[in-house]
Structures are given as C-alpha cells and as structure tokens.
C-alpha cells in the first residue's frame, strides 16, 4: 500500500487557504481597477491579461483545497505558503500601478502605465512566478488524488469478495486441469485395453495351433503302433 501524506492540523491549512483566497480576490480587484485605468488611456497590456488568468486559476485551486480535506497535506501546505507570498507581491505591484495610472488619467496625461521596460519586466517576472506556483499546486493536488486512487484499488484487491473470486477462479482452473488429466488417462486405458485384447487373441490362436500340432503328433503315433502290431 502506498504511504499517505502526513496531514497537518486542518485549521492551519484552512487558515492559509483562506488568506490566499482573500489575497487573490484583492489582486483580481486591483487588476480590474488597473484595466479600467488603462482602458481610459487606451493601453491594455497582454501580460496583464495573462496575470488575470493565472490569478483566476489559482483561486479555483485554493477553493478546491478548502473544500477537500484530503488535500490538506504538508506538501500542499508548503506550496500554499509560497503562493501566498507571490500573490501578496502581485497585489502590491498592481496597487502601485493602479494608483499611478489613476493619477495619470486624472491629470489628463496621455502617457499610459506601466512605464518603461522596468515595469514590463516586473510584470513578466510576476507572471512567471504565478505560472510556477499554479503548476506546483496542480502537481501536488494531482499526486494526492493519485495516491487516494491507488489506495482504493489496493483495498478493493484485498477485499474478501475479491479474494474469494480469485480462489474460485483458481479452483475452477484446477478442476479443468484434473478433468483433462482424467480424460487423457481414459484414452490411455482404452488403448492399452485394445492392445491387451489383441495379445490375448494372438495367444489363443497360437495356443490352438500348438494344440492342433499335438493332436497331429498323437495321431501319428497311433498309426505307427497299428502298423507294427499288424
């Protein structure tokens, strides 16, 4: 049987999951505010759309962890802690960008944010971290589900019903093998019976010939005695 993960107290993992879910909701809200500001400046970045997708995916995963007690493992707990720090960074960056963009729009500036390669690189780095965090969480949850499935299969294989079915199949196989052996034995007995009958007939024939020869020899002696006595 596969070894199960060591489960931490549920409240520890639930508390972390709730915190991350709140951070994700905050990040998505900040993203929406930034999108509104950028729409006003006619500057929507593709990287921001990708960040929103990753935030939404992470939110779904965290909700699954909250709903499923079997996902509250030490590995998932550790990954949630890492994800929490990344999402907090996302919130911080989006909040700064949103405030700057709103200020830019309020002053009728035509220059959109993020400004320059530095901000674009920062967004790209955040996106990579989000993608990695999501991939690690998906892997950790999938491993738990795989372990549970393997345990269920192992348990079903060890159930009395399965063992009885296996023993029945083995017994049926043994019975069939014995029937084949007995059938082969009967065929051998039939052949030996025919051969024995043939030998018996031959012996009787040979015996008759020998007995006839004795009769001929006896008749010859009587004839010779008759001639000598005449």
pLDDT in tens, 15-71: 777 888 888 888 888 887 777 766 655 445 677 888 888 888 898 999 888 888 888
211 pLDDT exceeds 60?
Answer: no
Contact 51, 90 (CB under 8 A): yes
Tokens of 80: 């949630």
Is the pLDDT score of 91 beyond 70? yes
* 174 vs 153: CA distance, rounded Å: 27
Query: If you average pLDDT over every residue of the chain, what do you get?
Result: 70
pLDDT value of residue 207: 47
Residue ranges of the domains in the chain? 10-158, 172-230
Q: Which residue has the higher pLDDT, 48 or 191?
A: 48
Nearest to 79 by CA among 154, 145, 137, 146: 137
Calculate the alpha carbon distances from 59 to 35, 63, 93 in Å.
Answer: 19, 6, 18
Q: What is the DSSP string of 135-173?
A: HHHHHHHHHHHHHHHHHHHHHHHTSHHHHHHHHHHHHHH
**Greatest alpha-carbon span in the chain:** 172
Backbone angles phi, psi at 161, to 5 degrees: -65, -45
pLDDT tens sequence across 101-141? 767 655 555 455 545 567 677 888 888 898 999 999 999 99
Residue appearing with tokens 């709903």 = 67
Q: Is the pLDDT assigned to residue 220 strictly greater than 80?
A: no
What value does the mean pLDDT take over residues 190-197? 50
CATH architecture of 10-158: Up-down Bundle (1.20)
């Amino acid at each position: 049987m596969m070894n199960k993960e060591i489960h931490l107290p549920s409240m520890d993992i639930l508390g972390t999951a709730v915190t991350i879910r709140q951070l994700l909701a905050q990040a998505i809200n900040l993203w929406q505010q930034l999108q509104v500001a950028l729409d006003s400046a006619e500057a929507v970045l593709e990287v921001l759309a990708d960040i929103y997708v990753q935030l939404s995916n992470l939110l779904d995963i965290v909700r699954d962890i909250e709903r499923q007690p079997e996902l509250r493992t030490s590995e998932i707990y550790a990954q949630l802690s890492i994800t929490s720090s990344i999402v907090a960074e996302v919130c911080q960056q989006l909040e700064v960008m949103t405030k700057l963009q709103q200020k830019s729009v309020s002053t009728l500036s035509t220059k959109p944010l993020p400004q320059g390669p530095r901000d674009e690189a920062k967004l790209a780095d955040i996106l990579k971290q989000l993608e990695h965090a999501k991939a690690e969480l998906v892997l950790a949850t999938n491993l738990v589900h795989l372990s549970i499935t393997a345990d269920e299969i192992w348990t079903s294989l060890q159930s009395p019903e399965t063992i009885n079915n296996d023993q029945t199949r083995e017994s049926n196989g043994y019975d069939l093998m014995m029937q084949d052996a007995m059938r082969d034995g009967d065929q051998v007995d039939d052949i030996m019976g025919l051969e024995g009958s043939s030998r018996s007939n031959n012996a009787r024939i040979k015996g008759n010939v020998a007995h006839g020869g004795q009769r001929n020899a006896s008749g010859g002696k009587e004839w010779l005695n008759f001639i000598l006595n005449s």
